[in-house]
Amino acid sequence: MNYKMINEKDTIAAICTGLTGSGINIIRISGDESFNIAEKIFRSVSDKKISDMGRFSVNYGFIVDNKDSATEKTVDEVLLLKMQAPHSYTKENVIEIDCHGGILVTKRILELVLKTGARLAEPGEFTKRAFLNGRIDLSQAEAVIDIINAKSNLALNNSVKQLKGQVKDKIISLRDSIISKTAYIEAALDDPEHISLDGFTEELEPEMERILSEISKLVASSDDGRLINEGINTCILGLPNAGKSSLLNALLDEDRAIVTDIAGTTRDVLKETVTFGDVVLNIFDTAGIRDTEDIIEKIGVDKAKKEAENADLILYVVDLKEGLTDEDKKILEEIKDKKIVLIYNKSDLVLPEQVEDMNCQSPVIPGEGEGSIQKVNSVKISSLTGEGIDELKDLIKKLFYSGSITNEEDIIITNERHRELLISAEQSVRNVFEGIEAGVSEDFLTIDMMDAYEALGKIVGESVEDDLADRIFRDFCMGK
């Protein structure tokens, strides 16, 4: 590893909890001087010194300010947790002070800690030290921030699996396989009298094929991974006054968007996040698509089309009373490459016996491949009464989160950095196959094999540049 943190021997401290009025707040201290600092400001009710306390212990007492040697002023009643290296989050000596959750008292205790010899930790510096001290690898460190930012149980569970080392173990296994074959080639080149390469490519090829298959599977999982971590970018489209904003309000279960009977009310894109179960929708409510001379409305229509281009899912809303018009079909043709749910809205305005006479079919439109077709999923709802909303949610779940995505054993890549490195490793392994087919010598094959090995190593932090590590940990919150 070529990354070295500046001032890595400093003892650092920070508030680990949100600085708001709460039951408790926690101040964490990590480094060689942690115990000495705590000794100066903590008074145990049992009169025990920090050095006499158990290596891993919880101790009751008081934080005191003894800047005036003649008197000590009690700041707060606290619990002090002592964790002796290497069995702590950072693998350093760690003190955690659980104080009352007042903002003023928490800041006061942190100021005392800093005045007594610690410096304020940078964002993510505790986790950075855990990484540098070998407690976790880089993929596990990145999982920490993913856990903090998780938007759903599915995202949380996947991040926890990564924190427990699921990605790390797979990457290490792949690298071991690559390096063992590379080492054999290198050894044979150094000692051809005793180690032969005759027929070695016949042994190498199936092993590299297995490695390529596993890497490709990880790359393929990244599409699901992005949706799990970031949510499904969802665009609500349709003709004016079809009930798009009403649908948004129904999904949010609140009146967020302005709803009127006047066509063209929505002029700009409104973004909201909706979570149901393990599904997170980043919803963009857009202006009704139509030809218009209104300059402002036209800008809204153009924005709607742009959002549709970037969407993972299109919720296309049709007024059930009007049915599917030729204009609707034209728009559906333009968005044929997207996952679409056709929503017939305003079912509350139509009598049940009239529905059969309505033009509310599930249309067939051209698919992605040449000559292929797809049947658009459809559902009837009432944004006003909520009828059909649960059915719509179930349909979205099936479109995106079916099959093995919820399998506990599956590894799902959610990190874009990991995805890019896996793609690089995948290409290097493909180059090995091309080399074997072209009949190049084994020493040239090792060049691509080592490129794959290095790319995989960057995922777990075996080789990481200073600016990359800084960028990763800069995204963490203070105290983590």
Tell me what the pLDDT averaged over the chain comes to.
83
Could you read off the pLDDT of 362-383 as tens digits, one per residue? 554 544 544 444 567 888 888 8
| Cβ neighbours around 359 below 10 Å, total | 12
What mean pLDDT comes out for the span 384-408? Answer: 79
- The token pair at 364 is 């067939």
Select the more confidently predicted residue: 446 or 290: 446
Q: Where are the beta strands (DSSP E) in 169-294?
A: 232-238, 270-276, 279-285
pLDDT score recorded for residue 260: 38
pLDDT at 106 over 90: yes
Convert the pLDDT of each residue in 233-248 to its tens digit.
Answer: 998 888 888 888 888 8
| Pairing between β-strand 42-44 and β-strand 56-65 as defined by DSSP bridges | antiparallel
Bridge-based pairing state of the strands 94-101 and 22-30? antiparallel
Residue 38: name the closest of 70, 64, 8, 67 by CA: 64
Listed residue (80, 70, 10) closest to 41, CA to CA: 80
pLDDT of residue 190: 85
Q: Given pLDDT bands bounded at 50, 70 and 90, which one contains residue 384?
A: confident
By the 8 A CB rule, do 337 and 373 touch? no
Residues 385, 348: contact at Cβ < 8 Å? yes
With bands split at pLDDT 50, 70 and 90, how would you rate the model's confidence at 308?
confident
Q: Where are the beta strands (DSSP E) in 19-117?
A: 22-30, 42-44, 56-65, 73-83, 94-101
The predicted-structure confidence for 133-186, as pLDDT tens digits, reads as follows: 999 998 999 998 888 888 888 888 888 999 999 999 999 999 999 999 999 888
- Tokens 């459809």 found at: 378
Q: Which run of H or of E encompasses 458?
A: helix 442-460
DSSP 316-370: EEEETTT-S-HHHHHHHHHTTTSEEEEEEE-GGGS-HHHHTTS-----EEE-SST
Answer yes or no: is pLDDT of 199 > 60: yes
**What is residue 298's predicted lDDT score, i.e. its pLDDT?**
52
The tokens for 183 are 């080492």
Would you say 78 and 62 are in contact if contact means Cβ atoms under 8 Å apart?
A: yes
- Cβ neighbours of residue 406 closer than 8 Å, sequence gap 6 or more: 154, 278
DSSP, res 383? T
- H-helix segments, 34-77: 34-41
Average pLDDT of 419-435?
Answer: 95
Q: Say how many CA atoms lie within 13 Å of 16 toward its Cβ.
A: 19
Q: Which residue has the higher pLDDT, 130 or 304?
A: 130
What pLDDT score was predicted for residue 363?
55
Q: Please name each of the domains of the chain with its CATH number.
A: 12-136 (3.30.1360.120), 147-226+415-460 (1.20.120.430), 231-406 (3.40.50.300)
**Residue 452: pLDDT band with limits 50, 70, 90:** very high
Higher pLDDT among residues 334 and 288, named by residue: 334
Give the strand pairing for 377-380 and 94-101.
unpaired
The pLDDT score that the predictor gives to residue 125 is: 92
Q: Please say if the pLDDT value at position 132 is more than 80.
A: yes
Give 267's pLDDT tier (boundaries 50, 70, 90).
very low
Q: Which residue has the higher pLDDT, 310 or 60?
A: 60
For residue 315, pLDDT beyond 50: yes
pLDDT at 209 over 70: yes
pLDDT of residue 285: 79
Q: Is the pLDDT of residue 3 over 50?
A: no
Strand 12-15 to strand 119-120: parallel, antiparallel, or no bridges (unpaired)? parallel
Going by the DSSP 8-state scheme, the letter that residue 53 receives in this structure is S
Cis peptide before 86 (omega within 30 of 0): yes
pLDDT reported for residue 225: 86
- Is the Cβ–Cβ distance between 460 and 138 less than 8 Å? yes
Report the C-alpha gap between 158 and 168 in whole angstroms.
13
pLDDT at 256 over 60: no
**What phi-psi label fits residue 277: left (phi over 0), alpha (psi between -120 and 50 degrees) or beta?**
left
Indicate the pairing of strand 232-238 with strand 377-380: unpaired
- As a 3-state breakdown, the chain gives helix, strand, coil percent values, each rounded to 5, of 45, 20, 35
What's the pLDDT score for residue 423? Answer: 97
pLDDT at 460 over 70: yes
The reported pLDDT for the residue numbered 465 is 58
pLDDT greater than 90 at residue 432: yes
> How far apart (Å, rounded) are the C-alpha atoms in residues 130 and 163?
12
Q: Determine the average pLDDT of the residues in 225-233.
A: 87
* Token duo for residue 408: 């506990």
Q: Are strands 373-375 and 279-285 parallel, antiparallel or unpaired?
A: unpaired
**Percent of all residues in the chain with a pLDDT value above 90, rounded to a whole number:** 39
pLDDT at 4: 44
